[in-house]
Chains A and B, each alone.
Chain A
């Protein structure tokens, strides 16, 4: 399996290197779909220039990346292209290893269940075979590396690629069961963009499941584990934040990075839901709607963790999707990360209902973004409503996609418990309805 992966990496790096050399690179790095005010490379360069002049990079309201990133590029600015390609490669390899490990566990669990005769007889066609699972890790790496969204994001040198790398390392260390590394990478990801905070729940659930600690509020071992993890997580977060403070010598970065993410002052159009609403809104409602919009990201953690507490890896996927849909400055790079997980759930395809519709809508919207942007900004004949309509449609399609996978996952679990061909009490064929 190493050979195809190497080949894939070589192809991916070649594509990126070729695009860096082409005239498209400048065009791509200006696209609002690919870079956000948080992740734009242009702004990192501006921050570096300010830093070199001995001014705080956060003065001037242009730079909003974290201090660690700017110090990283302080040394690596000449090798920026290599850094971003490397970040993509790391992400892909980490996802590859993660999925390999996860598949192993799924298969082991399935074997135990089969031996214990826990599945109903007519569910045999739902059982996953090692043959079909063999290529899934490779497919995941391929979905990430060859996804046009990832390529665009990498060519635009959007720092989103680095965030994805940290997140994928977090997932890898979690799935491998390494508590300390998991906590450290999660705190790094949180430090980068706050929102991964919600992944805490899924990481805890997974690690407890792996260490056979029951999720029971009355058990001391449960709380003891939570305290341990929280200590590691908060401790490393504290260390990183303090390190930033010592590097920079001021707390400027807190309002400029986290305040910027949470209060959404920059309303440059992007593929998210925030900009249009907050541009149109009366100023005195701003705080209220800010809370409403931001709660979306965090709130879904609770019902999802309750429903999926047996399946933390699927929970991670769901939460990544929720974050990338509802975060304040989303880019296509965020979408690419959760889309990389789609091959892992390829066994759910038979239960998906709207996949065709959703794919068509996602495809059309991706093509329409640049067209409507051109009509709005350059030709001046369309306006922001056209662009926002497409943004809205794009997000609705994403939500449909995720909820479709959620439904399919639950449905498969249901069938694994109760049999595939459900009968009503009177013996006629029953159908499952999601209400």
Chain B
């Protein structure tokens, strides 16, 4: 409190902060970026370790024998799938019943707001089939889920085969203390959404589904399996769920521990782990892995079928089998043993997974960065905004016949009029609302008048509204007669800077990656924009750093990191499809990234744009 109440020290501190404001901001920005890049450096990260006692100390023995039989089932499933031209419901029900499960089906249908061109679907109708293995050992109050998606084409047949094989094998075991639900869901996430909503009696997205006839206990953990070949070289663990939510780290630890034990190659983000952390290439490998995770998390999409479980407080991950050109292959029996081991450990759980971290980034499967380590990187960026706000505040209150601590001449406080500050705020938010509502609302009209498909119409409307917003500052200023005083923009900027700080802070808490990427691009804009900087150059920089361009760069960067560089034209097409996917994710599963950008981040950026053109 000494610092806050002693006037001399206060004055010294404030004058220091205002005098050195720009250098401090630059240093903070550099430090923030450097800190973030340092996170992937192995000595700065922590080794993963199993925190959950129930899964750590007990040993389990894996004996799953029936890999070949599972493959045969998978082929049978493929044949029936081809014959039925979709989910072979009757066959699945019969097969699951013959394996001793209680089998139920759930029908669902959903019309998308506009056609999904990536997956070529518009009116979706499907059926989920699930069988429950009742726990013989305990009171059936808890459950585990194993799911495999039924995808069109030749994919994932082996996963369904293995799922059925495991079901048969698990049925003969007596030690299950939790119900195990074997779920084959159609239309990937849409089916999963229908099933989860049915299971939990909620309906958040207005989908039609028939109620579930059978239920297990409360679901403790879930794994989703994707296998498309008879043998695999490695298993990839996908953690990123809806809105960037991650499962408890213990689930990743469990997977890693069993891969080590059984001797299966395991990857995350499709990247193997390397041991040469002290070499440059080793470090850049870790950075790439972490950046991939950051980009995936920031997208707010669910990167596997597990993503929707997280919303219901269920720890879930997707395990993907990858078959590349490596010599060393793993057969399906081994994967079956791995799954068996994981489920037996999960079966030992006494309470939900909660011991380990929920906020983490993984530069490799064996190392992680926890929230305490990565938050300072964001904090260093956020502090810039606060410093700028303090600077503005001092300027606004100061032109000082300062007599004593904090005493300010009241004449200088002539307020610039609420209207001149409120109008840009309201207008930019209305633009945000337009960006949020118009694309879907106007697709029919756009299709009538322009030669485009519905999906293109939605995306192009969004881009058009976004661009049209840039024309606003001139109009706002014309509306306001005599509003553009020097005080006016300072007050507006103070409001905008604080707004951005709070917005980014909240975003970073929910989804660190998104918050950090937005901060990296928006903080410099917020820090330097005034009406007095060179207009043309600053306008260019602002546009380059605007949220839409950030997304464009992220798309290219993501492709680059995945070692699949693309040409500019392909990149642009990908960019358009990413936008449409973002809007679809919001409409279908309630992902929050699109509304966040449209309703809050974009208007905030527009305010800074407005300040640049302040007259």
- Does chain A have a CB within 8 A of B4? yes
List B contacts of A382 (CB < 8 A).
358, 509
- Whole-angstrom CA separation of A379 from B5 in the bound complex: 40
User: What's the nearest-Cβ distance from chain A to residue B274, in Å?
Assistant: 29
- Does chain A have a CB within 8 A of B506? yes
A354-B4, A380-B313, A382-B358 known; A431 vs B404 contact (CB < 8 Å): yes
- Residue of A whose beta carbon sits closest to that of B393: A356
Q: For A378, give its contact among B8, B313, B406 (CB under 8 Å).
A: B313
Q: Say whether chain A's binding surface is mostly helix, strand, loop, or mixed.
A: helix
A371-B506, A380-B313 known; A432 vs B10 contact (CB < 8 Å): no
- Does chain B have a CB within 8 A of A216? no
User: What's the nearest-Cβ distance from chain A to residue B391, in Å?
Assistant: 11
- Whole-angstrom CA separation of A435 from B505 in the bound complex: 35
Q: For B505, give its contact among A357, A364, A374, A421 (CB under 8 Å).
A: A364
- Does chain A have a CB within 8 A of B378? no
The 0/1 profile, CB within 8 Å of A marked 1, for residues 387-411 of chain B is: 0011001000000000111111010
- Does chain A have a CB within 8 A of B123? no
Interface contact A434-B358, CB-CB below 8 Å: no
- Whole-angstrom CA separation of A349 from B359 in the bound complex: 42
List B contacts of A351 (CB < 8 A).
406-407
- Does chain B have a CB within 8 A of A262? no
- Does chain B have a CB within 8 A of A381? yes
- Residue of B whose beta carbon sits closest to that of A126: B410
List B contacts of A353 (CB < 8 A).
4-5, 7, 10, 405-406
- Does chain A have a CB within 8 A of B310? yes
- Whole-angstrom CA separation of A356 from B10 in the bound complex: 13
A360-B498, A367-B506, A368-B509 known; A379 vs B7 contact (CB < 8 Å): no
- Whole-angstrom CA separation of A431 from B390 in the bound complex: 23
Tell me the count of chain A residues lying within 8 A, CB to CB, of chain B: 32
List B contacts of A400 (CB < 8 A).
4
Interface contact A381-B408, CB-CB below 8 Å: no
- Does chain B have a CB within 8 A of A363? yes
List B contacts of A360 (CB < 8 A).
386, 389, 498
A363-B502, A364-B502, A367-B502 known; A375 vs B509 contact (CB < 8 Å): yes
User: What's the nearest-Cβ distance from chain A to residue B521, in Å?
Assistant: 21
- Does chain B have a CB within 8 A of A372? yes
- Does chain A have a CB within 8 A of B351? no
- Does chain B have a CB within 8 A of A352? yes
- Does chain B have a CB within 8 A of A426? no
Q: Which of A397-435 contact B (CB under 8 A)?
A: 400, 420-421, 429, 431-435
List B contacts of A356 (CB < 8 A).
390, 393
- Whole-angstrom CA separation of A434 from B359 in the bound complex: 43
Q: Which of B290-342 contact A (CB under 8 A)?
A: 310-311, 313
- Whole-angstrom CA separation of A378 from B386 in the bound complex: 30
- Does chain B have a CB within 8 A of A350? yes
Q: Which of A160-211 contact B (CB under 8 A)?
A: none
List A contacts of B506 (CB < 8 A).
367-368, 371
List A contacts of B7 (CB < 8 A).
353, 431-433
List B contacts of A432 (CB < 8 A).
7, 404
- Whole-angstrom CA separation of A429 from B401 in the bound complex: 14
Interface contact B410-A350, CB-CB below 8 Å: yes
List B contacts of A379 (CB < 8 A).
245, 310-311, 313, 358, 510
List B contacts of A380 (CB < 8 A).
313, 352, 354, 358
Interface contact B5-A368, CB-CB below 8 Å: no
Interface contact B358-A431, CB-CB below 8 Å: no
User: What's the nearest-Cβ distance from chain B to residue A120, in Å?
Assistant: 15
List B contacts of A350 (CB < 8 A).
406-408, 410
Interface residue ranges, B against A (CB under 8 Å) = 4-8, 10, 245-246, 310-311, 313, 352, 354, 358-359, 386, 389-390, 393, 403-408, 410, 413, 498, 501-502, 505-506, 509-510
20 contacts between A and B (CB under 8 A): A349-B410, A351-B407, A352-B406, A353-B5, A353-B10, A353-B406, A360-B386, A360-B498, A363-B502, A367-B506, A368-B505, A368-B509, A372-B509, A379-B245, A380-B352, A380-B354, A381-B358, A433-B5, A433-B6, A433-B7
If A353-B10, A431-B8 are given as contacts, then 7 extra A-B residue pairs at C-beta distance below 8 Å, sorted by A number, are A357-B4, A363-B498, A368-B505, A378-B313, A380-B352, A380-B354, A381-B245
